[in-house]
Chains A and B, each alone.
Chain A
């Protein structure tokens, strides 16, 4: 029962992490109680701390947390200067109000800032930040390349494009750093915005050259080889995909519109089925095979299940205790931690015990980069151009 170390065989399916994280995110979207939201962030953070690897994408978690804080700050700044529709009695400050013309009725700049409005904005921002942090957790725990590998064959090429783009961004950053350093060698200031602008063209040139080189390498390694497919199959594929997409559009329109609720759902389902059929048939054109695809084991079921359970329990809590999930900003009250929803959020901690441990090699790597090992050289070196 003890969790094994992650190897390629025991690695958790990337989809499981995403389902878990989306479950937490769904739960977060159902409440504005800051204590519950904090608990969700805590749960996500604990699992990330316990199970993330040393891979580059695993470091993105910190960035997402910062992004969350920025979102809260922006929400508060807006509420402060633009006011809000929340009535309140506790005035914090009164800003001078900017007189606006008639056509801008309903918009207010400056004016009274109430504690209630700020608290409401804080809760709201916190909810958004929690959503972001949940996505960040999935990003840190699941290898994005592996997730794309699970796409159906017909979408494979789109997946490769995304993977290439993802390795592209870090290269671009490295290029910018290198070229800014080179500016210093020319005796020009290497900091400041102008310096950044002036390296723009060479960086883009370099990026373009790299992509051409990569395209050549991929071509020479057999990327884009296709199998001969009978004409009939090709035509059926196009017909199914096109028809399916049309069906999905019309079905959605029907569902959202008031009049077509009768035909909307069946049309949507039929469209979906046709599009999936098209994708499946389209996959026959690709000759690709998959090397060691990830398997969906019972641990993956538990991880994904815990996320889904948190979401389901929270939705259910929304029906039995709606008030506890949405502490009112008017009148100002101290938020309380509702017991049962809190317990259901804790279900999300399950992955910290059942998911495979990060590989021990990671620990060794870290030790090696702290001490000295013969082959850690390039890690300390700027990427060779």
Chain B
């Protein structure tokens, strides 16, 4: 269905091609997963299928890409619109109209389909994606999972043979991600649609894939094959595969179910061992460090309203120094609001917030900076200068720190970033590190991160975990709002689950997470009922018992 023949793409002034030597065929009706570290050209490859590369982005494409027999060199994206449906990373950027029903019809209107056909297909698609309830809703009021489903639906109505998706689940909570993947499954199974998708969060998708295309490193030729074979050699892989590799299971399990079947022996071997406390590596949290000095933030009876909606309701929370806390819950549960209340962006409608002796919404930004730092969901919001060096100088000035202290943080967090680069040209992981360095310049005892692993590959995530562990060991209190259960399992001493603005669970990570079907990490699911959470934990234990 999709054929790449000796394709290489070089962008305008780049020295080396973004991708090269691509020679592969995606057969009809397969769900094909594109994996690889950040910056290997996954998006370039996806956009080459719908013709946006090179028609829209510029650059030179050598070789030939054909989709359903149409050559993308001679067909512009709009002329491929009836065979390829493309959904980018951000569904909001994809929407042209303002309501669900109009959005579903937009593509068909552009193709000039007859009104009765359009009406029928809109109704069919509403049912297929479970959107019938939302048909008159404004797009801006939808939740993340709903938006993603509408975006998929809006390209489905034209009955494309190929669906191309760039990171469809990375911004979603685990439940919403499953919603979207169930829809994709259904398309492949029932309608024979060919699906090509790129995703960083492999633990969510790899078990659904028929084929995996691996781009191992920039400029390297792709490897294509059955998921288990490719995962055996892939530098990026989900925890369940890591566990399988560790235990030498063959064939490699891709889903929790396969792994559980093989895990009998491993469970037996581990049953006598007591796993180290979660968040290991950062040492045990100073739970006994009572007294005002040990407490980085205290929230009592907190309520926050936005308009008529009560976003947070009677939240009680204490964060101690040296402790890492993961804040979890579905999209819109109030996680971000709680974080921004801690930095004083919202005034509480009831209750009290104390951060290092200050009341955040009354404190001046300068004093507050020394007590609490927040890395927002989009780290770029924090960066305002046009080079890394200027950014560091500005951060030193803001924090009143001696010159060079921010740069020292940057060097520590990411050694190989030159001073002259524009923050926009950094990769997601580098940008996050820079924002983190900027925040750390004022040495706040409390560090807040909102959804830090969005768009990070496994390597960048591992680096982030190391950095955060070191910070916790130095005595920083860290609060992460995240959908990433694997991250929470690796880092957090404590997990707090929010639902509709209320805390519904608060306790040590192993207790909260192991019992929850949606927040348990893969290793916990495989080894349940044993309370193991991460692959490194298991690896250490195996080494010790061997």
Residues of A within 8 A of B (CB): 7-8, 55-56, 145, 160, 163-164, 167, 170, 178-179, 181-190, 198-199, 201-202, 205, 210, 213-225, 227, 287-292, 359, 361, 366, 369-370, 372, 374-385
Known contacts A163-B97, A220-B86, A385-B381; is A184 also within 8 Å of B345 by CB? yes
Which B95-119 residues have C-beta < 8 A from chain A? 95-98, 101-102, 105-115, 118-119
Contact present for A220 and B93 (CB under 8 Å) = no
Contact present for A222 and B97 (CB under 8 Å) = no
How far does the alpha carbon of A382 sit from the alpha carbon of B306 in the complex, in Å? Answer: 11
How far does the alpha carbon of A170 sit from the alpha carbon of B395 in the complex, in Å? Answer: 30
Contact present for B381 and A380 (CB under 8 Å) = no
How far does the alpha carbon of A221 sit from the alpha carbon of B107 in the complex, in Å? Answer: 5
Contact present for A377 and B143 (CB under 8 Å) = yes
Neighbouring B residues of A379 by C-beta, 8 Å: 141, 309, 332
Contact of B332 among A188, A290, A377 (CB under 8 A): A377
Contact present for A219 and B368 (CB under 8 Å) = no
| Least distance between A48 CB and chain B CB atoms (Å) | 19
Neighbouring A residues of B109 by C-beta, 8 Å: 288-291
Contact present for B366 and A291 (CB under 8 Å) = no
Contact of A213 among B90, B146, B334 (CB under 8 A): B90
Contact of B96 among A185, A199, A218 (CB under 8 A): A218
Contact of A222 among B57, B107, B141, B142 (CB under 8 A): B107
Contact present for B369 and A186 (CB under 8 Å) = yes
11 A-B contacts (beta carbon < 8 Å): A8-B136, A160-B96, A163-B96, A185-B376, A219-B76, A222-B78, A222-B81, A288-B110, A370-B309, A378-B332, A381-B332
How far does the alpha carbon of A164 sit from the alpha carbon of B98 in the complex, in Å? Answer: 10
Neighbouring A residues of B107 by C-beta, 8 Å: 221-222
Contact present for A359 and B136 (CB under 8 Å) = yes
Contact present for A380 and B311 (CB under 8 Å) = yes
| Least distance between B523 CB and chain A CB atoms (Å) | 29
| Least distance between A134 CB and chain B CB atoms (Å) | 24
Residue on B nearest A7 in the bound complex, by CB: B136
B65 within 8 A of partner (CB): no
B336 within 8 A of partner (CB): yes
Residue on A nearest B329 in the bound complex, by CB: A377
Contact present for B381 and A178 (CB under 8 Å) = yes
Known contacts A167-B98, A186-B395, A187-B398; is A216 also within 8 Å of B88 by CB? yes
B92 within 8 A of partner (CB): yes
B500 within 8 A of partner (CB): yes
How far does the alpha carbon of A182 sit from the alpha carbon of B384 in the complex, in Å? Answer: 10
Contact present for A369 and B399 (CB under 8 Å) = no
Chain B interface bracket (under 10, 10 to 19, 20 to 34, 35 or more): 35 or more
Contact of A385 among B80, B84, B378 (CB under 8 A): B378
Contact present for B52 and A221 (CB under 8 Å) = no
Neighbouring A residues of B82 by C-beta, 8 Å: 222
| Least distance between B411 CB and chain A CB atoms (Å) | 20
How far does the alpha carbon of A366 sit from the alpha carbon of B141 in the complex, in Å? Answer: 12
| Least distance between B367 CB and chain A CB atoms (Å) | 9
| Least distance between B366 CB and chain A CB atoms (Å) | 5
Contact present for B382 and A384 (CB under 8 Å) = no
Contact of A217 among B93, B330, B366 (CB under 8 A): B93
B144 within 8 A of partner (CB): yes
Given contacts A222-B81, A222-B110, 19 further A-B contacts (CB under 8 A): A145-B102, A185-B376, A187-B366, A201-B384, A210-B93, A213-B94, A214-B94, A220-B50, A221-B106, A222-B82, A222-B111, A225-B78, A227-B112, A288-B112, A289-B112, A370-B308, A381-B331, A381-B337, A383-B140
How far does the alpha carbon of A370 sit from the alpha carbon of B140 in the complex, in Å? Answer: 18
| Least distance between B146 CB and chain A CB atoms (Å) | 7
| Least distance between A59 CB and chain B CB atoms (Å) | 11
| Least distance between A167 CB and chain B CB atoms (Å) | 6
Residues of B within 8 A of A (CB): 50-52, 55-57, 76-82, 84, 86, 88, 90, 92-98, 101-102, 105-115, 118-119, 122, 136, 138, 140-144, 146-147, 154-155, 158, 171, 306-309, 311, 330-334, 336-337, 340, 343-345, 364-366, 368-369, 373-374, 376-378, 380-382, 384, 394-395, 398-399, 424, 438-439, 442, 500-501
Residue on B nearest A361 in the bound complex, by CB: B136
How far does the alpha carbon of A167 sit from the alpha carbon of B118 in the complex, in Å? Answer: 24
Contact present for B398 and A186 (CB under 8 Å) = yes
Residue on A nearest B51 in the bound complex, by CB: A220
Contact present for A292 and B119 (CB under 8 Å) = yes
Contact present for B111 and A186 (CB under 8 Å) = no
How far does the alpha carbon of A82 sit from the alpha carbon of B87 in the complex, in Å? Answer: 59
Contact of B377 among A8, A164, A384 (CB under 8 A): A384
Contact present for B78 and A369 (CB under 8 Å) = no
Neighbouring B residues of A361 by C-beta, 8 Å: 136
How far does the alpha carbon of A379 sit from the alpha carbon of B332 in the complex, in Å? Answer: 8
| Least distance between B361 CB and chain A CB atoms (Å) | 10
Neighbouring A residues of B110 by C-beta, 8 Å: 221-225, 287-288
Known contacts A213-B90, A217-B93; is A380 also within 8 Å of B306 by CB? yes
Max chain B C-beta neighbours (<10 A), residue from A185, A210, A213, A290? A185
Neighbouring A residues of B81 by C-beta, 8 Å: 220-222, 225
Contact present for A220 and B98 (CB under 8 Å) = no
How far does the alpha carbon of A40 sit from the alpha carbon of B121 in the complex, in Å? Answer: 45
Contact of B154 among A160, A182, A221, A382 (CB under 8 A): A221
How far does the alpha carbon of A382 sit from the alpha carbon of B93 in the complex, in Å? Answer: 15
Contact present for B115 and A378 (CB under 8 Å) = no
How far does the alpha carbon of A374 sit from the alpha carbon of B143 in the complex, in Å? Answer: 10
How far does the alpha carbon of A219 sit from the alpha carbon of B143 in the complex, in Å? Answer: 25
Contact of B93 among A8, A187, A213, A374 (CB under 8 A): A213
Neighbouring B residues of A167 by C-beta, 8 Å: 98
How far does the alpha carbon of A384 sit from the alpha carbon of B399 in the complex, in Å? Answer: 28
| Least distance between B183 CB and chain A CB atoms (Å) | 16
How far does the alpha carbon of A380 sit from the alpha carbon of B109 in the complex, in Å? Answer: 32
Residue on A nearest B110 in the bound complex, by CB: A222
| Least distance between A54 CB and chain B CB atoms (Å) | 9
Contact of B92 among A187, A374, A384 (CB under 8 A): A384
Contact of A292 among B105, B141, B309, B377 (CB under 8 A): B105
Residue on A nearest B158 in the bound complex, by CB: A222
Contact present for A289 and B398 (CB under 8 Å) = no
Residue on B nearest A209 in the bound complex, by CB: B93
Known contacts A182-B376, A187-B365, A198-B384; is A292 also within 8 Å of B92 by CB? no
Contact of A378 among B108, B331, B345 (CB under 8 A): B331
| Least distance between B353 CB and chain A CB atoms (Å) | 15
Contact present for A225 and B140 (CB under 8 Å) = no
How far does the alpha carbon of A199 sit from the alpha carbon of B380 in the complex, in Å? Answer: 12
Contact present for A216 and B398 (CB under 8 Å) = no
How far does the alpha carbon of A375 sit from the alpha carbon of B133 in the complex, in Å? Answer: 11
Contact of B309 among A56, A215, A380 (CB under 8 A): A380
Contact present for B336 and A382 (CB under 8 Å) = yes
How far does the alpha carbon of A276 sit from the alpha carbon of B306 in the complex, in Å? Answer: 50
How far does the alpha carbon of A137 sit from the alpha carbon of B142 in the complex, in Å? Answer: 27
How far does the alpha carbon of A217 sit from the alpha carbon of B119 in the complex, in Å? Answer: 23
| Least distance between B260 CB and chain A CB atoms (Å) | 30
How far does the alpha carbon of A213 sit from the alpha carbon of B144 in the complex, in Å? Answer: 18
How far does the alpha carbon of A188 sit from the alpha carbon of B154 in the complex, in Å? Answer: 42
Contact of A291 among B79, B115, B377, B381 (CB under 8 A): B115
Contact present for B98 and A145 (CB under 8 Å) = yes
Contact of B382 among A170, A182, A215 (CB under 8 A): A182
Residue on B nearest A175 in the bound complex, by CB: B381
Contact present for B368 and A187 (CB under 8 Å) = yes
Contact present for B381 and A179 (CB under 8 Å) = yes
How far does the alpha carbon of A384 sit from the alpha carbon of B142 in the complex, in Å? Answer: 11
Neighbouring A residues of B119 by C-beta, 8 Å: 291-292
| Least distance between A284 CB and chain B CB atoms (Å) | 12
| Least distance between A198 CB and chain B CB atoms (Å) | 7
